[in-house]
Amino acid sequence: MWVQREIALEPRPRGFHLVTSEVERALPELGEVDVGLCHLFILHTSASLTLNENASPDVRRDFETWFNQAVPERFDWDHSLEGPDDMPAHIKASLLGPSLSLPVSGGRLALGTWQGVYLCEHRDRGGARSLMATVVGQSRREP
């Protein structure tokens, strides 16, 4: 079985945000998948997706601190027309990547206990971000 759907995420401020539940709610068909994969793909180049610790908000704050230091706004950027947060956002987006492929097992995302999906918003005002979600797998209903 295949499911493909665009998901509009709630707008969020610059930073790293847990969106696992929001994504799962948008994909009720996951419940029908016995064995499969769920591909999440962000349709933007200044925000990204990653998987990390789902418990402590200070982990997500430390992500923001480290990435701001590693890819600073004050740098020898050629591309500065779209604001000082734009070019660092592009670099951060490629360091973290535009997609996640997650295993699906027994009708659920097969994540580790501490794993959650992060929306990484690298712009000051990125607005609502869209994902293209693609699920492929063996249906639980098939003989």
Residues forming contacts to a second copy in the complex (CB under 8 A) are: 2, 4, 35-37, 39, 41-45, 50-53, 56, 58-59, 61-63, 65-66, 70-71, 75-79, 87, 90-91, 93-103, 105, 110-115, 118, 130, 132, 134, 136-138
Nearer to a second copy, 21 or 108 (CB): 108
CB of 91 to a second copy, least distance (A): 5
Residue 70: count of CB within 10 angstroms of its CB: 11
Distance CA 99, CA 24 (A): 16
Place of tokens 């601190």: 65
CB of 31 to a second copy, least distance (A): 17
Distance CA 119, CA 74 (A): 24
Nearer to a second copy, 12 or 110 (CB): 110
Q: Which of 3, 11, 2, 19 is nearest to 111 (CA)?
A: 19
Two structure tokens written together for 139: 């249906």
48 bridge partner residues: 120
CB of 58 to a second copy, least distance (A): 4
CB of 25 to a second copy, least distance (A): 20
